[in-house]
A = this chain, B = another copy of it.
Amino acid sequence: MRLENIFGGIVMGKLVKNITSILEDFSKWYTDVVIKAELIDYSTVRGCNILRPYGYAIWENIVSILDKEFKNLGVENVSMPIFIPESLLQKEKEHIKGFAPEVAWVTLGGNEELSEKLCVRPTSEVLFCSHFQKIVNSWRDLPKLYNQWCSVVRWEKTSRPFLRSVEFHWQEGHTIHENSQEAKNFTLKILNLYKDFFENILCIPVILGQKTESEKFAGAEITYTVECIMKDGKALQSATSHYFGNNFSKAFDIKFSNKNNKEELVHQTSWGLSTRVIASIIMTHGDDDGLVLPPDIAPIQVIIIPINLKNKLVIEKSHEIFNIIKNKLKLRCIIDESEQTPGWKFANYEMKGVPIRIEIGPRDIENNQCVLVRRDNHEKIICKFENLSENIEKLILDIKNNMYKTAQKNQENKTKIFESEKDFENFKGFIKMPFCEDSECEDNIKQKYAFTTRCIPFDEKIENNYICPICGKKAKNYVYFAKAY
């Protein structure tokens, strides 16, 4: 295997060019990172992007970790069809209202017009429901805890890599239960699984809560959400978990005979997380040198750069270190022995967000040491060879902690308790406000300031006498508002 070809990053002749700085133009910085770190290439199809090897490897790592977690909860993977007949999509009324405007329709098969048009799935609730209806009879068949990894299609007019696209990859979980309590508990169990994943794996702090009526999923009774704040102060809805109650089971007649031999409707959930998380990672951790990847999902965790390629000792030592890191520490590691200059290589792997860089030159060999460079804070650490394993293991933990803390500081700085309506004009971030939860008032704020409700946070009850500062009615809860992606 030629190292030059791994993730296409070490190709001669191409330079790692400067990217726009975050402060200059956040949106351009984002696009620069996505393209220059070789995560995505645009295709000839509007809104459909190509996930290049480096971008896809990040998604593969995310999938592999989450898939294990789901399976630990007893979730089983299945595969539902790519197409939904129009009549099937129309069975749940709220659902079709939400999705109809944004689906792609297949109307021709070969050269023949279809008698019923088929949409390319925008989400698969109705497919799961019609299958559940067939396979469930008794309480003994419950729960069914299903998930699928696939891509879905939404006919978006505008698109931005990872944030909004016509086709995107995701997982969609669909479960059915005997009673509402069990279903609600499962919805929350998954929400907490997402939270742990964001905090412990992606080093991203989150706000958990419930969506308001107008922001919940088409067909859901309750939508819970994982909200993150980006470096520019915009919120990103990063995962959701829905409780459907009986809405779909009524429409699809999904009944079972309970322990008393009486027919009941099942209680249902669905939950999903998509390649949008990659946008979350980029905009939470990235800096003016490019991507900064959380170690657990980085395709390359350690990059070794020999400083003098003609020095045999340097090359030997590089391979020795490589073997330790790969085989003993089980980390994803490569050596870059290509003909590019060290400076080019440093910039390239910084752009790609590789958490740890190891530099080894002839003088290091003499001193029985190498240099470790952290991507998160650019710190350089002189490391004696005998301490290498220990130092790298510690460094990975330090990097994760520091990434989380830095992101948490950003979240704190970009969150404020509502003081006056001027906040909606001046503040970039989460505004926490006692809110009436009236959809007219909500719409009003949205129209005027482009701030939307992000969630009603858990466990932050307000005093009984609080009022909504916008309309003056009684406030029900604190609600987080933000401009959102």
Q: Which residues of A contact B (CB under 8 A)?
A: 1-2, 4-8, 11-14, 41, 43-45, 48-53, 56-57, 59-60, 73-74, 76-85, 88, 101-111, 117-118, 120, 127, 130-131, 134-135, 137-138, 140-141, 143-146, 150-151, 153, 155, 166-167, 169
Q: List 19 A-B contacts (CB under 8 A).
A: A5-B144, A8-B144, A11-B140, A44-B88, A45-B84, A45-B85, A45-B118, A50-B79, A50-B81, A53-B146, A56-B77, A57-B76, A57-B77, A59-B79, A82-B151, A105-B106, A105-B108, A106-B120, A107-B107
Nearest chain B CB to A215 CB, angstrom units: 21
In the docked arrangement, what's the CA distance between A82 and B79, Å?
16
Contact B145 A43 (CB under 8 A): no
- Which residues of chain B come closer than 8 Å to A111, judged between CB atoms? 101
Q: Which 3 A-B pairs have the closest CB atoms?
A: A48-B81, A1-B74, A53-B76
**Contact A104 to B101, CB < 8 A, known contacts A45-B83, A169-B79:** no
Contact B120 A76 (CB under 8 A): no
- Which residues of chain B come closer than 8 Å to A105, judged between CB atoms? 106-109
- Residue in chain B with minimal CB distance to A127: B43
- Which residues of chain B come closer than 8 Å to A60, judged between CB atoms? 77
Q: Which of B12, B76, B104 contacts A140 (CB 8 A)?
A: B12
Nearest chain B CB to A458 CB, angstrom units: 26
- Which residues of chain B come closer than 8 Å to A80, judged between CB atoms? 43, 50
In the docked arrangement, what's the CA distance between A81 and B84, Å?
19
- Which residues of chain B come closer than 8 Å to A106, judged between CB atoms? 104-107, 120
In the docked arrangement, what's the CA distance between A458 and B14, Å?
43
In the docked arrangement, what's the CA distance between A85 and B46, Å?
10
Contact A1 B51 (CB under 8 A): no
In the docked arrangement, what's the CA distance between A4 and B41, Å?
45
Contact B77 A155 (CB under 8 A): no
Contact B76 A45 (CB under 8 A): no
- Which residues of chain B come closer than 8 Å to A12, judged between CB atoms? 138, 140
In the docked arrangement, what's the CA distance between A138 and B11, Å?
9
Contact A167 B107 (CB under 8 A): no
In the docked arrangement, what's the CA distance between A2 and B138, Å?
15
Nearest chain B CB to A364 CB, angstrom units: 28
- Which residues of chain B come closer than 8 Å to A135, judged between CB atoms? 8, 41
- Residue in chain B with minimal CB distance to A80: B50
Contact A5 B117 (CB under 8 A): no
In the docked arrangement, what's the CA distance between A370 and B326, Å?
42
Q: Which of B45, B53, B81 contacts A78 (CB 8 A)?
A: B53
In the docked arrangement, what's the CA distance between A60 and B68, Å?
13
In the docked arrangement, what's the CA distance between A111 and B155, Å?
10
Contact B50 A78 (CB under 8 A): yes
In the docked arrangement, what's the CA distance between A6 and B145, Å?
10
Of the listed residues A2, A57, A105, A137, the one surrounded by the most CB atoms of chain B closer than 10 A to its CB is: A105
- Which residues of chain B come closer than 8 Å to A137, judged between CB atoms? 13-14
Contact A83 B167 (CB under 8 A): yes
Contact B73 A1 (CB under 8 A): yes
- Which residues of chain B come closer than 8 Å to A110, judged between CB atoms? 101-103, 155
Q: Which of B8, B56, B78 contacts A51 (CB 8 A)?
A: B78
Contact B140 A13 (CB under 8 A): yes
In the docked arrangement, what's the CA distance between A80 and B140, Å?
42
- Which residues of chain B come closer than 8 Å to A50, judged between CB atoms? 78-81, 127, 131
Nearest chain B CB to A98 CB, angstrom units: 13
Contact B41 A143 (CB under 8 A): no
Nearest chain B CB to A12 CB, angstrom units: 5
Contact A141 B85 (CB under 8 A): no
Q: Which of B2, B74, B127, B138 contacts A74 (CB 8 A)?
A: B2
Nearest chain B CB to A348 CB, angstrom units: 14
- Which residues of chain B come closer than 8 Å to A82, judged between CB atoms? 48, 120, 151, 153, 167
**Contact A79 to B56, CB < 8 A, known contacts A5-B143, A44-B130, A45-B118:** yes
Nearest chain B CB to A174 CB, angstrom units: 12
- Which residues of chain B come closer than 8 Å to A49, judged between CB atoms? 81
In the docked arrangement, what's the CA distance between A137 and B13, Å?
9
